Chain A
Amino acid sequence: MRREVPLLITAIVGLTLIVVYFVPHPPFSDLRDLFSDWFGVIAAFAIYLGILSLLKINVDKVYRKKSGWGFSIVTIMGFLLFVSVGLYEGSDFGEYGTSYYYLYDRIYYPLMATMFAILAFFIGSASYRAFRARNLEATVLLLAAFFVMLGRVPIGYYLTSWLPEGFRMGSLADWIMDYPQTAGQRAVMIGIALGIVSTSLRVILGIERTFLGGE
């Protein structure tokens, strides 16, 4: 029963959502709304599950003095600080001038911005070490990157503004983005979509059962 009931729920919900795509009328549309509401409740509970998981892993790491346990203390303290301040301030927690707003503005924002900004340095370093014209494919990729990177910023315009419209760096970058790039993306997206359809059908029909866990 522990496996059959979840499989049955998955099959009923999955098949109903497929049917409602083609027949968006009652009773199927009502069922879609009902399942969506249930999903919202489950998603909200998943947040608590995430919190418990975060605390369990980090408390365990500190307790056992595993490598990097000091960072876990920072994580736990940060979590407790944000949650307690947020709960204390109630529904106005995000308003300008509140303590939560201060924490968000002075701690969370700079930390997140720093994480993202580090990318710029790694891109610079990687472009120097790895972006080599080793063969034809790599050369094509390199040339595309060259034109798009310069064409997407005003410097590209200044370098080629003397050329007629359509031959400037910006136009070339637009062409690369609109045609070869889009064609490549489309192929990848179609491949992913087919994979999703096949996996979804396997899950709905009960062939794929790894999501149930266990053996």
Chain B
Amino acid sequence: MGFFERLLKIDRRIIFTLIGIAIALPLFFNVSMFVETTPVVKGVYEVVESLPEGSKVLVSFDYDPGSMPELQPMAESFFRHCFSRNLKVIIMGLWPQGPLQANWALDVILNEPDIKAKNLRYGVNYVNLGYTAGNEVVILRMGSNIHAAFPADYYGTPLDDLPIMKGIRNFNNIDFVYNLSAGYPGTMEWVQFAADRFHAVLGAGNTAVQAPLMYPYANTGQLVGILGGMKGAAEYEVLADRPARGVRYMFSQGIAHAVVIFFVILGNVAYFATG
């Protein structure tokens, strides 16, 4: 058996090991890399920048811990941006784990010195409405009455008792909707029901696998922008001038992509060499 035949039949455990090293090793180095920003990410950033102080932003957490590496940095950078601009944040989830993911992101951001100094209060500056079963029908119900879809918040407090919810009835009273999604229900349902049906201004953060599916919506303006995968999170951090986890993980992701490309080239060389 020649060299290239042996190369074609390489034990996949060797590939697994190399991939593992390529991903894990760079995480131990704090290498700052240049991150190019793209128009689709700028779209979300610019809408948030354009909102006046006190505007209401609805953030839907539609993912679970499996997608945390990609979506949690997006959530954190978005919260940071909103709070630094004194926007009011309303959190909800179409996935049962979503509201808990939101609390994790809040724990991080609310303890950052500049945000902590603002002395933000639950129920006044931000609120977590929790999860309601019903997938896209929840969005449909919110279109006529948010209070009917979420009678109480995550902790059981009636919505009418929360100052932040005063004057909010449906999407007409929400200035921007931001959806963090890893599948169904997610961005597609928000586009179909909140954006198309009720004309909500919508932006999204998706996993890298899901983001390409949403590009048609960004091209038509149904989405003001998309953050795709960890690169999207890194771009947002760069735009907000607050590099954090997204930017830091770019080194690891870059090396991992390069190793996969190396394998593709190697596989093709061996394939053609063996006829």
Contacts and interface: CB of A to CB of B under 8 A. Distances in A.
A157 B212 contact: no
Contact of A120 (B23, B135, B213, B215): B23
B42 to A, nearest CB: 12
Interface string A18-49: 00010000000100110011011001101100
Interface string B202-232: 0000001000110110010000000001010
A94 B103 contact: yes
B52 interface: no
B258 interface: yes
A108 interface: yes
B163 interface: no
A177 B212 contact: yes
Interface string A138-174: 0000100110011011110110000000000010001
Interface stretch (B66-74, B81-89, B171-179): B66-74
B273 to A, nearest CB: 12
Nearest to B263: A128
A113 B215 contact: no
B65 A149 contact: no
B267 A36 contact: no
Interface string B1-38: 00000000010100110111001000000000111101
Contact of B100 (A43, A94, A142, A155): A94
B15 A128 contact: yes
Interface in B121-158: 132-135, 137-138, 140-141, 144-145, 148-149, 154-156
A32 B140 contact: yes
A43 B261 CA distance: 44
Contacts of A149: 257, 260-261
A189 interface: yes
A150 B35 CA distance: 13
Interface residues of B, number: 66
B212 A181 contact: yes
B155 A154 contact: no
Interface string A90-105: 0110111000010010
B250 A153 contact: yes
B184 interface: no
A113 B20 contact: no
Nearest to A124: B19
Given A127-B260, A181-B215, A155 B254 contact: yes
Interface string A62-80: 0000000000000000000
Contacts of A152: 208, 229, 231, 257
B99 interface: yes
B68 A120 contact: no
Interface residues of B, dominant DSSP = helix
Interface stretch (A4-12, A52-60, A129-137, A202-210): A129-137
Interface residues of A, number: 57
A129 B155 CA distance: 51
A104 B257 contact: no
Contacts of A109: 65, 68
Interface in B222-275: 229, 231, 250-251, 253-261, 263-264, 266-268, 271-272
Contacts of A46: 133
B64 interface: yes
B253 to A, nearest CB: 6
Contacts of B272: 133
Contacts of A155: 254-255, 257-258
B264 A146 contact: yes
A101 B155 CA distance: 15
20 contacts: A29-B144, A32-B144, A33-B144, A94-B154, A95-B103, A112-B66, A113-B69, A116-B69, A120-B256, A123-B260, A124-B259, A127-B267, A128-B267, A131-B267, A146-B261, A149-B257, A155-B255, A157-B36, A182-B216, A185-B216
Interface of A: 21, 29, 32-33, 36-37, 39-40, 43-44, 46-47, 91-92, 94-96, 101, 104, 108-109, 112-113, 115-117, 120-121, 123-125, 127-129, 131-133, 142, 145-146, 149-150, 152-155, 157-158, 170, 174, 177-178, 181-182, 185-186, 189
Given A125-B16, A132-B267, A155-B258, 15 more contacts: A21-B197, A36-B137, A47-B133, A94-B99, A94-B154, A108-B65, A113-B65, A127-B260, A128-B264, A131-B264, A132-B268, A150-B258, A181-B212, A181-B215, A182-B219
Q: Which 3 A-B pairs have the closest CB atoms?
A: A154-B33, A116-B66, A124-B19
